[in-house]
Structure 1
């Protein structure tokens, strides 16, 4: 039933803000590279460093995705998707590396009756009532 869930282009999601702690020396070295014009700002440096690390570990990531049978990307789970799953008498078991977004008009009852499990490495966006209803099915 995974084929009924909409895969989004990567540009359609807002970036997620994270917080990190750095030592003073590392922060100073980063600021020096920014001042010297290697990077536009601290955020540019951090994004570049993360992308470079993910690229260098790309093969390991791909192997893990295959081994754990994960879907890579961003997915919109709509009310219509879940109603179709209910009509088919099936359950959705979604394993995502990226974003899973459950539409705001999905009721907790519909989510409970159609979603068997959600394993999201990245971000899960859903209403508080839906997240609360699915708390035992989210890993």
Structure 2
């Protein structure tokens, strides 16, 4: 039973997206896969996305600096939020990537310490926390 609960608690390391493509583009991708340039459609799409992100890397960095956002993974746990509450500070979460609010954070603590959440990427948090902070999530 311990292994089952550990598997359920494990967070995914990526986010699934849905993409609509025209038949011609899809056929061209399939041709490249068939010719061995890519192992499958997903490999092609991931590579194309990475190439686009690389080509705009400088613009992304400037935007992050301008918006004072954190890049990558940012975790918020009970201890960190308690320190903010004790210091009388309010947190304005701004993350490009993944922001996670730990399961050990009570709703009352989140409401007292999180003023706003802006995440370009994904926010992972318990459902009750997301519901309580819904008007603060942009």
TM-score, normalised by the number of residues in structure 1 = 0.89
For the pair 1:19 / 2:2, whether they are aligned, the reply is no
Q: After the TM superposition, which segments of 4 or more aligned residues of structure 1 sit over 4 Å from their partners?
A: none
Cα distance in 1, alignment partners of residues 58 and 95 from structure 2 = 18
What stretches of structure 2 of length at least 5 have no aligned partner? 1-10
**Structure 2 match to 1:79:** 78
For the pair 1:59 / 2:58, whether they are aligned, the reply is yes
**Cα displacement (A) at 1:137:** 1.0
Cα distance in 1, alignment partners of residues 119 and 70 from structure 2 = 10
**Structure 1 match to 2:33:** 34
Cα distance in 1, alignment partners of residues 119 and 75 from structure 2 = 13
For the pair 1:123 / 2:127, whether they are aligned, the reply is no
What stretches of structure 1 of length at least 5 have no aligned partner? 1-11
Cα distance in 2, alignment partners of residues 109 and 118 from structure 1 = 16
Cα distance in 1, alignment partners of residues 14 and 131 from structure 2 = 24
**Structure 2 match to 1:8:** none
**Cα displacement (A) at 1:69:** 1.2
Greater relative CO, 1 or 2 (CA 8 Å, sep 6+): 1
**Cα displacement (A) at 1:105:** 1.5
Cα distance in 1, alignment partners of residues 87 and 67 from structure 2 = 26
**Cα displacement (A) at 1:13:** 5.6
Cα distance in 2, alignment partners of residues 103 and 26 from structure 1 = 41
Cα distance in 1, alignment partners of residues 61 and 82 from structure 2 = 32
Question: How many residues are aligned here?
Answer: 128
Per-residue CA shift, 1:14-57, capped at 9, x if unaligned? 11110000000100000000010000111110000000000001
**Cα displacement (A) at 1:133:** 0.7
Secondary structure of 1:53's aligned partner: helix
RMSD over aligned CA atoms reads 1.1
